[in-house]
Structure 1
C-alpha cells in the first residue's frame, strides 16, 4: 500500500459498533477478495473487499476476519486469519503482514495463520448458534463472478447445515453510511489529491490534446500523492462525447471551441473521491456554453442546500427536478407547454438531465446507504446535476462531494477545487 497507516482506533470502533448489532451467541465472518486472473500468469491488481477493510484495516489477499463477541474464550472474540508470511514470500512478493503488524494495523490481538482456520472454526461452531454471512446487497450490484466470499458461504452452509444464518449486509449498510471523523479525513485527503490533479490539468489542456493525455495527467498526480489511482474508471469526454453518460474510451482529440467533461477522482487508502468539472478546450467558454454552465452550477449549489438531516431521498430528487426545470425554461430548452404536458413518471427536464443528482460515497464510489430512510449527519453525498444537449454538441456536469452536518449547510470536501466559470478561465489563461 502507498497510503500512510490509518489509526487502528477506527477499526476497533467499527468492530465494536458491528458486534453490538449481532444476535446473541453468533459469529460473523468476512473474507478478502480474490486476486482475479487475466490470462496466462497475469492477474488484475488486488483490490481489498471493502467490508473486511472497514472492520480490520487489513489490505491483503487471503485474509479472514471472524467476530464472536459472546465467545467463552476471550481471545476468540476477534480473530484474524492471515496468509503465513515467510522468507520465500518476502523475496518474491514482498513481506506480508506479520502477526504483530496485523495487530498494529487492526487492533486485533489474536492472529492465526490461514492453515489453522478450519480447525479453529470447528471449535467455534460448536459454541455458537448463528453465523452472519456477508452478501453484496447494494442496490446497484450486478455481480456474475463467484467471489471468495461466495465460495466460503457455500462451504460453510454445507459443512454446518444446522446453524442459523443471518446477513451482515443490513448492519453494514447502516454503519458504513455514517462516516467517522477519521474516515472524513481520509476522504478529504482523496479530494485534496483530486484538487492537485485538476489544477494540473487546467494548466495542461489546449486545443488538439487527446482525452487520454488528460487522463495521464491525473494519474501522474495521483501516484505522486500516495494514491494508487482512480477511484473509478474516469470519463474524459470532449465535445459530443460528454453526452454519453458512461463514456470511458477517452481516445478522441479535443478540438478548439469544444468543452471537455471530466469525471475523475482519486482514491486514497481505499476511500473514494468523485469529482466532475467541465472545461473549455480553448480556455474560454462561449456565451452559450457559459449560460448553460452557470445554470448547472446554480442547480448544484441549490441542491446542496437541501442535503440536511431528515431530508427524504425521493423528495430531494423531486425538488432538484423543479430547480432544473426552472433553469431549462430560462435557457429556452423547455417551454411551458413541455412542462404542462409532461409525463409525471418521466418529467420534461429528464430530456436534458436524465440521471440522479446524488449518491452515497465512501469506501465505494457508490457507497452503502439506506435510501428509504431520512438522511442523517455524517452521510457523505455527491451532488452532480448536468445538462446534456446533443443538438448543440456539448454536455455539462458539475459534481462535488459533501458531508451532511448536524445543523447548517453541508460541508463541501471539494470546496477548494475550482468550479466557477470565471475562475476556470482565469487559471487556464494565467
Structure 2
C-alpha cells in the first residue's frame, strides 16, 4: 500500500460498534472484492470492499472476516481468513499478509488460511442462529455484476438453509456514516493532497491546454503524495462541457474565454475527497462569469451553515432551493412569472440547478448513510451547488467537504483550497507578473 500504516485501534473500535447492534447468537461475514478481469490475463487494479476494510483494515484480495461475539470458543469471536502466502507468491505478486502482520493491521488475534474456512465454519454455524450477510443496499448501486460476496452468500444459504439471515447493511450504513477522529484525519490528508493538485494546475492552465493534460498534472501530484490516484473518475470540463453533469471524456482543448469546471479528488488509504472548482482559461473571469460564480459561492456559503446536527436532508435541500431561486432571479435567468407558474415537483430553479446539494462522503465518494434520519455530528458531507447555462457555454459548480458539528458551522476540510474568484485569478497570473 502507498499509504502510511493506520492505527489498528480504529478497526477495533469499528468492530465494537458493529457488535453492539447484532442480535444474540449471530454471526456476520464480510468478504473482500474480486480482482475483476478485463480480457486475456488482464485485470483491473484491486480495490478492497469498503466494509471489510472498515472493520479490519485488511486491504488484500481473497480475505474474509467473521464476527461471532457469542461463539463458545473465545478465539472464534473474531476471525480473519486469508489467502496463504508463500515464497512463490512473494516473488510473483509481492508480499502478502502473514498471520502476524494481519494481527498488527487489524487487532484480530485469530487468523486462519482460507483452506481451513469450510471446516471451521461448520463448527461456528452449528452454534449460530442468525447470519448477517453483506449485500449492497446503497440506493444508487448498480448490482448487475455478481461479486465475490454474492457468490459466497448463494453458497452459504444453500449449505445452511435453516439459519435466519439478516442484513448487515443497515448497521454498516449507520456506523460508517459517523466518522471517528482517525477517519477524519485520513480524509483531511486526502483533501490536503487534493489541494496540492489544485495549486499545481492553477500555474498550468492556459489557452490551448487539453483537458486531459490537466487530468495528467493532477494524477502526477496525487501519486507523488502517496495516493493511488483519483477517488472517482475526474471531470475536467471546459466551456459547454461543464453543462454535462457527468462529463468524463476530458478530451477537448481549453479555449480563451471559457471557464473550466473541474470535479475531482484524491483518495488516501481508501478514503475519498471530492472537490469542484471553476477557473477561467485566460486567468481572468468576464464580468458575467464572475457574477454567476459569486452567485454559486453565496449559495454554497449559506447552504453549508445548515449542515448541523439535527438537520433533515430533505428539508435542507428545499432551503438550498430557495437560496438558488433568489440568485437566479438576480442573474436574470428566471423571473417571478416562472416562479408563479412552476411545478411544485420540479421547481423552476431546477432548469439551471438540477442536482442535489450534498451527499455523504467517506470510504466511498457517495458514502453510505441514512437519508431518513436527522444528521449527526462527525458525519461528513459535500456541499456543491451549481448553475448551468448551456446557452452561455457556462457551468459553475463549487464544492467542499464538511464535517458536521453539534452546533455552529461545520469544519471545512478544504478550507485552505482557493475558492474566491479574486484569489484564483491572482494565483493563475502569479507567474505572468513574476
1:14 counterpart SS class: helix
Deviation at 1:410, TM superposition (A): 0.4
1:39 counterpart SS class: coil
Residue 111 in structure 1 maps to residue 111 in structure 2: yes
Aligned length in residues? 430
Runs (4+) of structure 1 exceeding 4 A deviation are: none
1:37 counterpart SS class: coil
Deviation at 1:408, TM superposition (A): 1.0
- TM-score by length of structure 1 reads 1.00
User: Which residue of 1 is the match for residue 171 of structure 2?
Assistant: 171
Deviation at 1:193, TM superposition (A): 0.1
Deviation at 1:112, TM superposition (A): 0.2
User: Which residue of 2 is the match for residue 158 of structure 1?
Assistant: 158
User: Which residue of 2 is the match for residue 72 of structure 1?
Assistant: 72
> What is the RMSD of the two structures over their aligned residues, measured on CA atoms?
0.4
Partners of 1:146 and 1:103 lie apart in 2 by: 30
Partners of 2:161 and 2:316 lie apart in 1 by: 45
1:126 counterpart SS class: helix
Residue 245 in structure 1 maps to residue 250 in structure 2: no
What do the CA deviations read for 1:218-247 (whole angstroms, capped 9, x no partner)? 000000000001000000000000000000
Deviation at 1:314, TM superposition (A): 0.7
Partners of 1:160 and 1:369 lie apart in 2 by: 31
Deviation at 1:209, TM superposition (A): 0.2
Deviation at 1:97, TM superposition (A): 0.2
User: Which residue of 2 is the match for residue 339 of structure 1?
Assistant: 339
Deviation at 1:407, TM superposition (A): 1.6
User: Which residue of 2 is the match for residue 365 of structure 1?
Assistant: 365
User: Which residue of 2 is the match for residue 293 of structure 1?
Assistant: 293
Deviation at 1:414, TM superposition (A): 0.3
Map residues 26-425 of structure 1 onto 2, 5 A cutoff. Answer: 26-425=26-425
1:329 counterpart SS class: helix
What do the CA deviations read for 1:32-76 (whole angstroms, capped 9, x no partner)? 000000000000000000000000000000000000001110000
Deviation at 1:394, TM superposition (A): 1.0
What do the CA deviations read for 1:261-281 (whole angstroms, capped 9, x no partner)? 000000000000000000000
1:263 counterpart SS class: strand
Partners of 1:113 and 1:151 lie apart in 2 by: 19
User: Which residue of 2 is the match for residue 13 of structure 1?
Assistant: 13
Partners of 2:125 and 2:144 lie apart in 1 by: 30
What do the CA deviations read for 1:378-402 (whole angstroms, capped 9, x no partner)? 1100000000000001100000000
1:206 counterpart SS class: coil
Partners of 1:311 and 1:407 lie apart in 2 by: 11
1:303 counterpart SS class: helix
What do the CA deviations read for 1:335-388 (whole angstroms, capped 9, x no partner)? 111111110000000000000000000000000110010011011000000000
What do the CA deviations read for 1:84-142 (whole angstroms, capped 9, x no partner)? 00000000000100000000000000000000000100110111111100000011112
Partners of 1:408 and 1:9 lie apart in 2 by: 29
Partners of 2:170 and 2:314 lie apart in 1 by: 20
Deviation at 1:406, TM superposition (A): 1.3
Partners of 2:118 and 2:329 lie apart in 1 by: 65
Partners of 1:278 and 1:143 lie apart in 2 by: 33
Partners of 2:326 and 2:308 lie apart in 1 by: 22
2:38 counterpart SS class: strand
Partners of 1:95 and 1:396 lie apart in 2 by: 46
1:236 counterpart SS class: strand
Partners of 1:51 and 1:173 lie apart in 2 by: 10
- TM-score by length of structure 2 reads 0.99
Structure 1, unpaired ranges of 5+: none
Partners of 1:120 and 1:261 lie apart in 2 by: 53
What do the CA deviations read for 1:399-425 (whole angstroms, capped 9, x no partner)? 000000012110000000000000000
What do the CA deviations read for 1:133-152 (whole angstroms, capped 9, x no partner)? 00000111122100000000
